[in-house]
Amino acid sequence: MENKLKTEILNITTIVEFFLLGFSDIPNLQWILFGVFLVIYLTILMCNSIIILIIRIDSALQIPMYFFLSNFSFLEICYVTVTIPRMLMDLLTQKGNISFFACAAQMCFVLMFGGSECLLLTVMAYDRYVAICNPLHYTLVMNQKVCIQLVTVSWISACPVVIGQTCQIFSLPFCGSNTINHFFCDIPPVLKLACGDTFVNEIVIYVVAVVFIMVPFLLIVFSYGKIIYSILKLSSAKGRAKAFSTCSSHLIVVVLFYGTATITYLRPKPNQSEGVGKLISLFYTVLIPTLNPIVYTLRNKDIMVALRKLLTKLLT
């Protein structure tokens, strides 16, 4: 029995680094993917930076709705910077080596910024709820102090939970393969490499996902239920159209982001295909952050007016 135990201990390899497969299964497209993702990353940085800039300098946009939007744009920049530059480096060097600590740090920041996005989207839905359902009390309820507090809570609430969850996952013994079939250190592919029973970890993941994905999503659904009910009671067709237009951009972002995040972290484990998981992750880490600034600018008249004013100043 003692010899058997020693053999099992020896079989557990102390992993000091992982290897991210990324898109190595399609070697002929490495340079094309590098170019595409580089353009996407620069587009995300540029578009979100422009949104932050025009909200800061245009006095007409100094309202809670755009204060939250500027924070969301900055959060998007942080979110994509955790994954895309690393992916670009791997595509460029054709190497996927990542240290144990760097992998843990990447997972921690992805989850932290992702959780903050969920909470901030909920805050933005609450802001629209107060603006449409209680317009007379809007300036009183959504004062500057409250807005700062809501943003602060959105940024820091996920931190202790995510740090604890990351420490719990990376304290597991890892044996055998150190190859992660993904382009970044996400929970499902990393957990597959862990030895022993991961049931407790999976339960924790589901609980955290419910708290930071499902609960905020239900609050958003409730807010929009009340919003739609209030809009439909408006007698003016023009008023209804204006109210819907202020909410439509946010609603599109919510559906895209929550849809892919729910599939990734709340789907049953037996159904977790690595290829499908990688594709879904590509949606919520790359594609959706690319679409978000486009959705918010093209569907928002105030942002477009402010952008035209800025371009006019720069060109004259």
16-65 tens-digit pLDDT? 789 999 888 788 888 999 999 999 999 999 999 999 999 999 888 899 98
Q: Could you tell me the pLDDT band of residue 314, with boundaries at 50, 70 and 90?
A: confident
CA atoms within 13 A on the CB side of 49: 6
Q: Could you tell me the pLDDT band of residue 299, with boundaries at 50, 70 and 90?
A: low
Provide the H-helix boundaries in the chain: 2-11, 30-57, 64-93, 100-133, 138-141, 144-156, 158-170, 187-191, 199-209, 215-232, 237-266, 274-282, 288-298, 301-315
Answer yes or no: is pLDDT of 6 > 50. Answer: no
The pLDDT, as a whole number, for residue 180 is 92
The pLDDT, as a whole number, for residue 197 is 80
Work out the angle at residue 173's Cα, subtended by the Cα atoms of residues 268 and 210, and round it to the nearest 5 degrees. 30
Q: Decide: 300 and 248 in contact? Cβ < 8 Å.
A: no
Residue predicted with more confidence, 315 or 207: 207
Task: Report how far residue 267's alpha carbon sits from residue 265's, in angstroms, rounded to the nearest whole number.
Answer: 6
Element (H, E) at 99: strand 97-99
What are the Cα distances from residue 214, in Å, to 160, 209, 253?
19, 7, 15
Can you read off the two tokens belonging to residue 132? 């449409």
Question: What are the pLDDT digits (tens) for 128-177?
Answer: 899 888 988 999 999 999 999 999 999 999 999 999 999 999 998 887 78
Q: What average pLDDT does range 98-127 have in this prediction?
A: 93
Answer yes or no: is pLDDT of 8 > 90. Answer: no
Answer yes or no: is pLDDT of 7 > 50. Answer: no
Answer yes or no: is pLDDT of 3 > 80. Answer: no
Can you read off the two tokens belonging to residue 23? 């898109």
Answer yes or no: is pLDDT of 82 > 50. Answer: yes
Answer yes or no: is pLDDT of 249 > 90. Answer: no
Q: What average pLDDT does range 197-216 have in this prediction?
A: 87
Terminal Cα distance for the chain, rounded: 83
Q: Residue length, the chain?
A: 316
Q: Decide: 38 and 80 in contact? Cβ < 8 Å.
A: no
Answer yes or no: is pLDDT of 248 > 90. Answer: no
Q: What average pLDDT does range 179-184 have in this prediction?
A: 91
Question: Which class in CATH covers the domain with range 17-315?
Answer: mainly alpha
CA atoms within 13 A on the CB side of 147: 20
- What residues contact 106, with CB distance under 8 A and at least 6 apart? 82, 83, 86, 98, 184, 185
The pLDDT, as a whole number, for residue 78 is 95
Task: Report how far residue 188's alpha carbon sits from residue 204's, in angstroms, rounded to the nearest whole number.
Answer: 13
Answer yes or no: is pLDDT of 114 > 70. Answer: yes
Give the least confident one: 105-109, 188-192, 274-278. 274-278
Element (H, E) at 97: strand 97-99
pTM above the 0.85 mark? yes
Answer yes or no: is pLDDT of 187 > 50. Answer: yes
Task: Report how far residue 152's alpha carbon sits from residue 71's, in angstroms, rounded to the nearest whole number.
Answer: 10
**Which of 232, 252, 256 is closest to 299 using CA atoms?**
252
Answer yes or no: is pLDDT of 267 > 70. Answer: no
